[in-house]
Chain A
């Protein structure tokens, strides 16, 4: 088997040696090849330089332009968004300050009202107290008068009952003296 292989290989070498050699070195067909190669290259050159390459260059430039524009637009939108955020924050801060101001104002107003009401109530209370004191004083005076009367009457009755003659003036003087004591 192995011998067959080597033998076959040997034959192959013989065959290769007896072959005409490299077709590349057969100069009789160089003219033909060169002619068709030049035709091919000219065709490729015109197809590429007239149609394909300008077209691709345009597409690439257009894409670059689109990308640049889109990036610029995106930047612009980003700036707008930042501005909007700033405005929002400012509005928020303003609103907060305003709210605080309103709250303080309301508080002050309420305090003022409260103070006024308190003062008024105090005044009223003071008036009522004075009135009451006056009434009490009157009542007290009335009571003394009544006591004097009752005492006079009682004294007169007692003197009469004892068989004496009640001298009004003397009784009154005695009572006044007693009441003072």
Chain B
């Protein structure tokens, strides 16, 4: 029983739920340089191919009455376009391609990561921190360019009593700088936790008695992860829109 799960070095049931996140060079060698093609590179590239397939090949007929693939692309377009317009306002529409890029990348990386034995780029803080910092830096620059020093009014809650305003300003300032942290950890944490939990259940599946339970649990977790994959992409995108709205219209 469970003999196949016995690690050579331990002699017990061994599972490494975090091993799926290890970054390995794709073409041999141990050293990972700046330009080494790794499994992360592969799955990012597959996400790009998926996006091209959906958004470019799917719409190649440019039909008035859309085909199924074109409907999907139009649906994604309309979904994000409306979100940007509704949440961040009409003048935020020029950031739509940028927000669409973030959303499409996260969605495709998340869903491709759900393929068994695949790799999920969005489970790495290196990826989500860069995504979040891109948003943070963009929003901050846009805020100052659009409103000048008036952007600092975001931290000066004019509707609060005057005595409270300096304290609120400090809280607002802290919350502003915590944004990229929560923004990035939320995404990577959700994706990583789900994948790790599935792996843990999969490790238990090696024990004959609990394997039915663990298979059911894996199935349930997988369903949940499908949901999480989309919801986290949605949350990341809508928060980007909210931050962008703050930058364009800093008055509370």
List residues of A whose CB falls within 8 A of some B CB: 1, 4-5, 7-12, 14-16, 19, 21-26, 28-41, 43-45, 47-49, 51-53, 55-60, 62-63, 66
A55 touches B59 (CB 8 A): yes
Report the tally of A-B residue pairs with Cβ distances under 8 A: 165
B34 touches A32 (CB 8 A): yes
Nearest CB of A to B205, in Å: 12
A24 touches B55 (CB 8 A): no
B16 touches A51 (CB 8 A): no
Majority-rule SS of A interface residues: helix
B104 touches A48 (CB 8 A): yes
Q: Which residues of A contact B32 (CB under 8 A)?
A: 28-29, 32
Give the B interface residue count (CB, 8 A). 67
How many Å lie between the Cα of A49 and that of B78 in the bound state?
15
B36 touches A32 (CB 8 A): yes
| CB of B222 closer than 8 Å to a CB of A | no
Q: Which residues of B contact A22 (CB under 8 A)?
A: 18, 21
Nearest CB of A to B99, in Å: 10
Given contacts A32-B23, A37-B130, contact A47 B51 (CB under 8 A): yes
Q: Which residues of B contact A53 (CB under 8 A)?
A: 55, 77, 96-97, 100
Nearest CB of B to A43, in Å: 5
Given contacts A16-B15, A35-B34, contact A24 B123 (CB under 8 A): yes
Picked from A12, A28, A41, the residue with its CB within 8 Å of the CB of B101 is A41
| CB of B244 closer than 8 Å to a CB of A | no
How many Å lie between the Cα of A174 and that of B78 in the bound state?
143
How many Å lie between the Cα of A25 and that of B192 in the bound state?
12
Given contacts A29-B23, A59-B63, A59-B70, contact A43 B18 (CB under 8 A): no
Given contacts A24-B125, A32-B23, A40-B45, contact A12 B34 (CB under 8 A): no
A37 touches B44 (CB 8 A): yes
Nearest CB of A to B221, in Å: 17
A48 touches B19 (CB 8 A): no
B55 touches A16 (CB 8 A): no
Given contacts A24-B21, A44-B105, contact A8 B62 (CB under 8 A): no
* Beyond A36-B44, A41-B105, A53-B77, 11 additional pairs, beta carbon < 8 A: A5-B209, A8-B12, A19-B16, A19-B18, A28-B32, A32-B40, A40-B48, A47-B55, A53-B97, A58-B62, A59-B62
